[in-house]
A and B are shown apart, each in its own frame.
Chain A
């Protein structure tokens, strides 16, 4: 019996063989004494492990254990975005910062839902001309919200932007 045959016998024990392979190995097990003994041993060990899976009790008191979990969860949530975990609230912060009190600019906001059906999508010009090179663009993309916003503005106008507020947790 070579290693390949031994592994096939194991695969038979584990139900990992099918069809003609299973039938072939089953025949080997039925006809060959060594193969049969190996099959029995592997089955015996498998059964013992299933019956004898160690059952370990946690060494810490339940309340203490959960309090540690809760503490970790709260710590994780505190390290997320200061305006909240949701992408849309972060988006709102971005929008407020960049669309604030900018005046005298041509603003085109094209929101393209990445997965929205065509008839729901707002009209987006197929082509934008920028003959004088004065258009600038900023893109915001949120995979989580399946959203892309392209903010176009006339970079020739001098406007003081309202500063973006600092994150609250700094």
Chain B
């Protein structure tokens, strides 16, 4: 098991971070990341090297997180029409942010601010943001994993980004 321990050692932080970014709970993230490693051990023979090991592992932990969120009923597979913030076209009314609020910001600070901003999103919006921006999954793939239409994914992503833009614009005001 020594080689497997080496793999865990190399990738544990990233796998934990991915789980935490989705469930936003330390204990659950630890549990889910460990579940992911157990599954990886059981399925290692299926890993064919089509993608990097890190990509393969994050896919496993993302699927576990999605199952977990569904079981907790924290994530609703609803259409855009049913989501409160989208029914009134709220995101369309937000003023467009034209000044880059991250200019001159150190990376450590930026990461902290991004993390705080993502905390303010709903589970659905945060999930689609994580899967698209951090995991670089296409709309089609996200829709399949989340069990909803591509249109719903696009709308959620749009809202999440616009919300992030408004939150980020607030940083400049706070700093000044």
Q: Are B12 and A3 in contact (CB under 8 A)?
A: no
B20 at interface by CB-CB < 8 Å: yes
Q: Tell me which of A11, A34, A46, A62 contacts B96 (CB under 8 A).
A: A34
Bound form: Cα–Cα A52–B130 in Å:
12
Contact surface of A with B, Cβ cutoff 8 Å: 3, 6-7, 10-11, 14, 16, 34, 37-38, 40-42, 44-46, 48-60, 62, 65-66, 68-70, 72-73, 76
- Name the residue of chain A whose CB is nearest to the CB of B115: A54
Residues of B with C-beta under 8 A to A37: 96, 98
- Name the residue of chain B whose CB is nearest to the CB of A7: B154
Q: Are A70 and B161 in contact (CB under 8 A)?
A: no
For this complex, 13 residue pairs linking A to B, each with C-beta atoms less than 8 Å apart, are: A6-B92, A41-B97, A44-B100, A45-B165, A52-B113, A54-B21, A54-B114, A56-B17, A58-B13, A58-B33, A68-B34, A72-B34, A76-B42
Bound form: Cα–Cα A40–B99 in Å:
10
B111 at interface by CB-CB < 8 Å: yes
B102 at interface by CB-CB < 8 Å: yes
Main secondary structure of the interface of B (DSSP, over half): helix
Residues of A with C-beta under 8 A to B12: 58, 62, 65-66
Q: Are B34 and A50 in contact (CB under 8 A)?
A: no
Contact surface of B with A, Cβ cutoff 8 Å: 1, 5, 8-9, 12-13, 16-17, 20-21, 26, 30, 33-35, 37-38, 41-42, 89, 92, 96-98, 100, 102, 107, 110-115, 118, 129, 132-134, 138-139, 151, 154-155, 157-158, 161-162, 164-165, 168
Return A25 CB to nearest CB of chain B, in Å: 13
Q: Tell me which of A14, A53, A70, A72 contacts B111 (CB under 8 A).
A: A53
Q: Please give me the 3 A-B residue pairs with the lowest Cβ-Cβ distance, nearest first.
A: A52-B110, A52-B114, A54-B115
Return A61 CB to nearest CB of chain B, in Å: 11
Bound form: Cα–Cα A35–B33 in Å:
41
Q: Tell me which of A10, A51, A53, A65 contacts B158 (CB under 8 A).
A: A10
Q: Are A55 and B113 in contact (CB under 8 A)?
A: no
Q: Are A76 and B98 in contact (CB under 8 A)?
A: no
